[in-house]
Chain A
Amino acid sequence: MARTVSTRRRLAFTALAWTIALALFFPILWTFLTSFKSEGAAIANPPSFLFFDWTLENYHEVQERSNYFHHMWNSVVISFGSTFLGLLIAVPAAWAMAFSPTKNTKNILMWMLSTKMLPPVGVLVPIYLLFRDWALLDTLAGLVLVLTMVNLPIIVWMLYTYFKEIPGDILEAARMDGASLGQEILYVLTPMAVPGIASTCLLNVILAWNEAFWTLNLTAAKAAPLTAFIASYSSPEGLFWAKLSAASTMAIAPILILGWFSQRQLVRGLTFGAVK
């Protein structure tokens, strides 16, 4: 609202908004704090919020005992690998649909959207069996493949909505200016499309990093990414909350930061361009 608002009203809104926001954020903050406590302090009653002995020990132990960075590396490979592969397939498709649309373009897009509605359990059994027969179970290659396919519709849609915004006559101008198809792509299209591609990448990395159906069902140990590794803490024996918190903090921090910077693109990508 461009209108001037009385300071009192503004303060009231501010207090309310901050209270709710902090309440929503609290579990994350709590995890972060707990990761610096000793296991004893983590379950202390009453809980200590800031005045405890801060320690980095949990971070050391998580790495030493469970080979944390192995799983971290798996997550990186899976999310970036599937994003790269997805872009490789989706960029040409989205480009073609945006720049030489036919009568069927809208239908194909809607069909792609509908594949996203297929519940994963509908294909869990055959995928599991095929992966077993092809020795893809618990391999990074298999997971990259699956996550590429899972997120492909979102990538295509998102790129499509970005490409759609590049005015066609700029490309025509480039052709009039004597640019070959290659030069048109290199000098005109790519620079204009890069922001869109970058946000698509970002969103896809976030989605793939957090994917927790296929990663849990198709991995055991070797290829287990962080989602599966964290899930292994769910066993009831012993309370390792501080270590769980340290592992969790490391698992969520990179994505949290990426996500903070890409809120707007997140909205656009997740709504298939329907809300900008």
Chain B
Amino acid sequence: MATLHTKSAARAMMSPSVILLFCWMAVPLAMTLYFSFLRYNLLMPGMEEWAGLFNYEFFLTDPAFFSALFNTLILVGSVLVISVGGGLLMALLLDQPVFGQGIVRVLVISPFLIMPTVSALVWKNMMMHPVYGLFAWLAKTVGLDPIDWLSAAPLTSIVMIVSWQWLPFATLILLTALQSLDEDQMEAAEMDGASLWWRFYFIVLPHLGRAITVVILIETIFLLSVFAEILVTTSGGPGYASTNITYLIYTQALLQFDVGGASAGGIVAVILANIVAFFLIRLIGKNLEG
């Protein structure tokens, strides 16, 4: 296929994607970088002036930043642990002979397909409402005091909602990977006298390694930017108790109109994401070759 005219045609076919994506990424990013050095508030138009590193200083020393950073890490970390751990167990279970497996799969994958605002509101109201929610009713039925989930344990509540959305994703991918496991290999190990646990540890787990990596990568990308779930449930509160970095920057930009500060925050978020991405891209790159 390597004839001459196809080579130049190939370049022409690729350029729209590459150019558009480059513009989408590079131009706004450059603008964000530029704004981050300005004193720039939309409420005071025409007052823009060079601010040097002031915005960064302000953003990074703001106690809100630390709680947001902490909340982001907790949110990403807990959801990853719950979804990957739970997903692994679910996948192992669904890989067993189960009656009505097709329907079970459909039920399990469903939460992933629900739009974030719907899941957040359904959980906020019908599950976690301190008076009328199902959890409250359950608590009362067993004789406990109902908890006001969203104000008493806001971050935990959000972790629950987001885990509910992402557990199916991990399950589905790990199950798919599990089903591609070579049966012969398992039987060979059984012949070699490996116990169930050793077979899981030496054969199943390494086989799933790539899928687990991929799940972690993809989930991290999306979890760093959790937004709608916070917006419609706690609005980041009480105080900053459930504000993550994404939500913090949103409040700065679109509620306080502080373009300079929000831009500095944006750059910080990009740097944080890059630190994660650096490791993960290397991991997936290595995995993709193998």
Contact = CB atoms under 8 A, between A and B. Distances in A.
Interface of A: 1-2, 5, 10-11, 13-14, 16-18, 20-22, 24-25, 27-28, 30-31, 34, 43, 45-47, 89-90, 92-93, 95-97, 99-100, 102, 108, 110, 112-130, 149, 152-153, 156, 168, 171-172, 206, 209-210, 212-213, 216-217, 226-228, 230-231, 233-234, 239, 241, 244-245, 248, 251-252, 255-256, 258-260, 263-264, 266-267, 270-272, 274-276
B20 A123 contact: no
Contact of A124 (B1, B215, B253, B285): B253
Contact of A212 (B110, B115, B273, B285): B115
Contact of B173 (A27, A117, A121, A267): A267
Contact of A20 (B93, B132, B276): B93
B218 A2 contact: no
A264 B119 CA distance: 23
Given A17-B98, A121-B249, A248 B122 contact: yes
Given A13-B97, A96-B9, A122-B266, 19 more contacts: A18-B98, A21-B108, A28-B110, A90-B17, A118-B29, A120-B227, A121-B262, A123-B24, A124-B254, A128-B254, A206-B113, A213-B228, A248-B122, A255-B113, A255-B114, A270-B173, A270-B218, A271-B215, A274-B214
Contacts of A116: 221
B104 interface: yes
Contact of B28 (A2, A126, A226, A263): A126
A275 B210 contact: yes
B93 A212 contact: no
Interface stretch (B57-65, B176-184, B193-201): B176-184
B253 to A, nearest CB: 5
A209 B112 CA distance: 13
Contact of B97 (A5, A121, A276): A5
B107 A14 contact: no
Given A43-B132, A114-B281, A28 B111 contact: yes
B232 A234 contact: yes
Given A10-B99, A119-B224, A124-B249, A27 B269 contact: no
B32 to A, nearest CB: 6
Given A124-B249, A126-B31, A251-B115, A267 B176 contact: yes
11 contacts: A13-B93, A18-B98, A25-B111, A45-B132, A117-B273, A121-B250, A122-B29, A123-B32, A210-B114, A213-B228, A275-B211
A21 B107 CA distance: 6
Nearest to A75: B115
Contacts, number: 320
Contacts of B82: none
B266 A96 contact: no
A130 B28 contact: yes
Contacts of A252: 113-115, 118
Interface in B222-245: 224-225, 227-228, 231-233, 245
